[in-house]
Amino acid sequence: MLRNLSFPAPRFWGAALALLATLALSGCGYNNFQQLDEQVKAAWSEVLNQYQRRADLIPNIVATVKGEANFEQETLTKVIEARSHATSIQATPELINDPAAFDKFQKAQGELTGALSRLMVVAEQYPQLKANQAFQDLRVQLEGTENRITVARNRYIKTVADYNVLARSFPSNLTAMVFGYKVKPTFTVQNEAQISVPPTVSFDKPASK
């Protein structure tokens, strides 16, 4: 009687197992990980684009400020040094998977934000510089870029938060363990906010009119 029984072909079992594996992966968040990972990469790319845009503006800002007699050289030097430090860090897509490298990058950019903020505060003390149209145009461009940086950073923070929740939550955390999906580092807004607070500026002698 068993001789009359027919069993599905191996091809059928292979397809069935593939279907079950697909359903299992989908149910455990595999597809969500892929989608969010792509979103994180896109958000990170936009952050880098805006930081690079800012770095490209700085040489023109420095050159314009240097034309002002008696401008505070220490402030100018700190901007130049901060830009050099920030641009010396190789910001690759892999950086977002390395918490230590990400922290180093964030601190360097925070220092540059602070140095630029101080430069703009000091510039307010120089009427001739404030009246310089080229400087004012650069200032507007810098302000716009800083706003775009904030938007890009916030988007990155939100996207990484979604990814990290998925990586920590059950049962998707099991998928993360199997495939090696680790929690990604993100920006700490409080630290950069403290760095970028401009100091009270005082002069030993008034700037030349």
Alpha-carbon torsion (199, 200, 204, 209), positive or negative: positive
* Token duo for residue 106: 């964030």
Least Cα distance to 153 among 95, 106, 104, 87 occurs for 106
CATH 1.20.1440.20 fits 30-195, yes or no: yes
pLDDT tens digits, residue range 115-163? 999 999 999 889 888 889 999 999 999 999 999 999 999 999 999 999 9
Q: What is the pLDDT of residue 194?
A: 45
Least Cα distance to 40 among 206, 136, 167, 140 occurs for 167
Band the pLDDT of 17: cuts 50, 70, 90: very low
Domain regions of the chain by residue span:
30-195
Long-range CB contacts (< 8 A, 24+ apart) of 87-95? 87/55, 91/48, 91/51, 93/41, 93/44, 93/45
Q: What is the pLDDT of residue 80?
A: 96
DSSP 3-state of 133 = helix
Judge if the upstream peptide bond of residue 171 is cis by omega within 30 degrees of 0.
yes
Q: What is the pLDDT of residue 117?
A: 94
Band the pLDDT of 27: cuts 50, 70, 90: low
- Residue 13 above 90 pLDDT? no
Q: What is the pLDDT of residue 90?
A: 86
Q: How far apart are CA 199 and CA 192, in angstroms?
A: 14
- Residue 18 above 70 pLDDT? no
Least Cα distance to 50 among 151, 138, 118, 129 occurs for 151
Q: What is the pTM assigned to this prediction?
A: 0.78
**94: number of CA atoms within 13 Å, CB side?**
2
Q: What is the pLDDT of residue 208?
A: 41
